[in-house]
Amino acid sequence: MKRTVTTLTAVAAAAALPFIQPHSLPDRADASRSTQQSTAADQARGRDPVERRIDALIRRMTTTEKLQQVQLLSDGQITDADAKAGVGGVFSLTDPDKINHFQKVAVEQSRLGIPILFAFDTIHGYRTIFPVPLGAASSFDPKVGEIDAAIGARESATVGLKQVYSPMVDVSHDPRWGRIVEGGGEDPFLNSAFSAARVRGAQGSDYSKPDKVAASVKHFVAYGQPEGGRDYNTTDMSERRLRDLYLPPFKAAVDAGVASVMCSFNSLNGVPGCANHETETDILKKEWRFDGFVVSDYTAVAETRACPPVMPAEGSCGHGTAADGPSAGAQALMAGTDQEMVSTYVRDYGAGLLRSGDISRARLDDAVRRILRVKFRAGLFENPYVDVAKAKDPASFLTPSDRAAARKAAGESMVLLKNSSATLPMSPAKKTAVIGPLGDDQHNMLGPWWGRGEDKDAVSVYTGVKAVSPTATYTPGCTLVDSEPPNIKPTDYCATDAGFDAAVAAAQAADQVIIAVGETRGMSAEAASRSDISLPGLQQQLIDRIKATGKPFAVVLFNGRPLTIPEVDATAPAILEAWFPGVEAGNAVADVVFGKVNPGGKLPVSFPVTVGQVPIYYNHEPTGRPCDIGQKYVSRYRDLDTCDPLYSFGHGLSYTTFDVSAPRLDRTSVSRNGKVTATMTVTNTGSVAGDEVAQLYLHDPVASLSQPVRRLVGFERVTLAPGQSKVVRFTLDRGAFGFHDNDGRLVVEPGTIELYGGSSSKADKKVTFTVTR
């Protein structure tokens, strides 16, 4: 029996840390970081060995050398002169020969021999590409994220990288935003669980080990809620929403020991993310006691500048909180940004800014100290070079065990949205037609941010299906071209029905049909916001034509965001949400479609009926006139006959059936500083083994500030044989009962608390307990 337990307590327990409260922000836990933290004897002396080495190094550094350390250059910027001058970091360089070359210059030719920290965007794999993070979150199994991060860390470190810009933990309620694909969806607790798990996977207990890297959680903070869902756009919200919804996943990463934090492109309440003293210094470094470093996002420091009448040659401006390059550099450094990516204002103007007093030597030294601390903890001073032979050995990547892990993760991440008349699973003995533009596609299966994965690495749906059902056929129907904006043309996306007759003929010649449709990978991720999130082109018409044949069929969706698919829901008897599953896409789809794997994934984000409902999310606050489709003067859309999304957060079906009992409590009242334990019994009431995710939701019906209608406070994924039962337990404390006020304080008020148990956010089995004074 497999168990994956996640509660407000279990998130921390799995990380070997004290209690983490994703809905509250207590002081940083007294977590042990194994060899990365001071020993008791060293702490008694006031400094650990790493800090003493940093002290000695900083005393020897000139101002110029310090300014070089806070500079991060791209693979296209770095030169021998930069390395010899002591540049701090380089990103996106993955050639081990070149990494060794620049590292050798830095270590052997610079005055102090400080190694360079090489970094890369290993988001969901380096060569062994796992499901996109939004897909992985659908597993409701943080272990999926941890294994993904561990394999990605090992492969990244093999080529000489020692930092990854992951995990991305931006909570988002807007599927128009392309980067929703990179995070864990709309819930802060689910995001927090995966945040901590991915940090554990990447760093382990000691990221100086040869198979580990320093993680960088991003994007700090509230980047996932831009106005209109347009990437890089402004964000404005109250302190309480910031703390209850958007900060918790970052706090979970910090408590798990994350080495660095990336500040965001967006402005928050008028302050750019990489120039925000409140978030970077007051909250992150002081309140949470984060001792790693803050790296800016790509040109984010430059973007604090006001744009002149004529756009500067280097571009990158707009927020208007800084007048020019020097003031942008000063603003970012003094706010708490320690390392500047791509733009070079701190490095270039730092000496003058020190003389003028616009930056302080103490703040510069602090930034340098934080960067050096991570380099020492990463073991770069002892082991700066990469083993080029190993880095070039194909056996170092895409190992059979890694591919098996990616296949398992993809299967766990798929969500069965609909399954009328038990259409799925299909029989491999019957003749199967795979139809659709993504049916024999390798390129898009890797999803956005595919690391150094190659199209040839990926298994297409047709290849996976044919391996199980040898008589299977494939017909595309139409094509999807993975174009980059701003050059997208209507003809890129299933713009003609010229291939529909052939698809219909293929369906008529088969016993059953798998229709593979969705987005291209270029339609998701950074700079890929969409105003229309329905199926692109004529894909729905293709589905309609196949339905008209009368053959049983299932739609398999590949996409990086929730789509508006009411027509698909009305047309298709079965719908499987596969997201972008990674290198083992086709095998994993075949596993699920033919019943080798019983789908147990749940949605980490709501699917709207129409884009006009956005933002729509389960943990919304109530209104004095809640939605009622039978009333006029209520909070509803007059042109919709529903108050709900098409599919709600936590929704997901199975090939078997389950019963999740009402929560049972160990007490009916608890003090504000006490704990209460809820138990639920999960029973497989069907005829085949399967996975269920027991979910526990909390609602505070009467509070001084209006509270969400419910919020997730615990979940557990279990595998049960037919007739088997399992009792799951969730222990809650003030982090669950409480909420933040508009001054940022955690408030725990006396009164009645409602708990709802079930298998989705629509859970309706309720118990109550009382929080006393």
Taking only the tens place, the pLDDT of each residue in 28-61 is 333 333 334 444 444 444 578 999 999 999 999 9
Taking only the tens place, the pLDDT of each residue in 111-154 is 999 999 999 999 999 999 999 999 999 999 999 999 999 999 99
Both structure tokens of 562? 């929730």
d(C-alpha 11, C-alpha 18), whole Å: 9
CA 525 to chain centre: 11
Whether residue 517 contacts residue 572, with contact meaning beta carbons closer than 8 Å, is answered with no
Helices (H), 548-692: 566-571, 585-593
Residue 566 is predicted with a pLDDT of 98
From the number of C-beta atoms within 10 Å of its C-beta (0-12, 13-18, 19+), residue 169 rates as buried
Both structure tokens of 504? 């219909």
Taking only the tens place, the pLDDT of each residue in 427-473 is 999 999 999 999 999 999 999 999 999 999 999 999 999 999 999 99
Taking only the tens place, the pLDDT of each residue in 680-712 is 999 999 999 999 999 999 999 999 999 999 999
In this model, does residue 14 exceed pLDDT 50?
Answer: no
Residue 489 is predicted with a pLDDT of 85
Q: Which of 170, 297, 700, 733 is catalytic?
A: 297
Q: What is the mean pLDDT of residues 212-231?
A: 98
Taking only the tens place, the pLDDT of each residue in 490-517 is 889 999 999 999 999 999 999 999 999 9
Q: Which amino acid is at 758?
A: G
Q: What is the mean pLDDT of residues 5-32?
A: 36
d(C-alpha 413, C-alpha 435), whole Å: 22
In this model, does residue 416 exceed pLDDT 90?
Answer: yes
Whether residue 218 contacts residue 264, with contact meaning beta carbons closer than 8 Å, is answered with yes
State the Cα torsion 402-406-411-417 to the nearest 10°. 170
Both structure tokens of 641? 């006959």
Q: What is the mean pLDDT of residues 572-598?
A: 98
In this model, does residue 347 exceed pLDDT 70?
Answer: yes
Taking only the tens place, the pLDDT of each residue in 255-279 is 999 999 999 999 999 999 999 999 9
Residue 313 is predicted with a pLDDT of 60
Taking only the tens place, the pLDDT of each residue in 56-100 is 999 999 999 999 999 999 999 999 999 999 999 999 999 999 999
Q: What is the mean pLDDT of residues 584-611?
A: 98
**Can you give the pTM of this predicted structure?**
0.94
- For residue 297, indicate whether it is catalytic: yes
Of the candidates 351, 427, 34, the one whose C-alpha atom is nearest the C-alpha of residue 200 is: 34
Angle between the 188-203 and 248-255 helix axes, to the nearest 10 degrees? 30
In this model, does residue 8 exceed pLDDT 70?
Answer: no
Q: What is the mean pLDDT of residues 532-554?
A: 98
Q: pLDDT averaged over the chain?
A: 94
Starting from the edge strand earliest in sequence, which strands make up the sheet with 293-295, in order? 293-295, 260-263, 214-220, 163-164, 117-120, 89-91, 71-74, 340-341
- Which residues does 416 contact at the CB level (< 8 Å), separation at least 6? 424, 574, 575, 576, 577, 592, 599, 601, 652, 653, 654, 655
Q: What is the mean pLDDT of residues 560-573?
A: 98
Residue 311 is predicted with a pLDDT of 67
Both structure tokens of 4? 């994956």
Confidence class of residue 312 from pLDDT cuts 50, 70 and 90?
A: low
Residue 593 is predicted with a pLDDT of 98
Residue 680 is predicted with a pLDDT of 98
In this model, does residue 247 exceed pLDDT 80?
Answer: yes
- CA–CA distances in Å: residue 760 to residues 30, 305, 396: 34, 45, 40
In this model, does residue 226 exceed pLDDT 80?
Answer: yes
Residue 22 is predicted with a pLDDT of 31
d(C-alpha 580, C-alpha 558), whole Å: 5
Residue 485 is predicted with a pLDDT of 75
Confidence class of residue 315 from pLDDT cuts 50, 70 and 90?
A: low
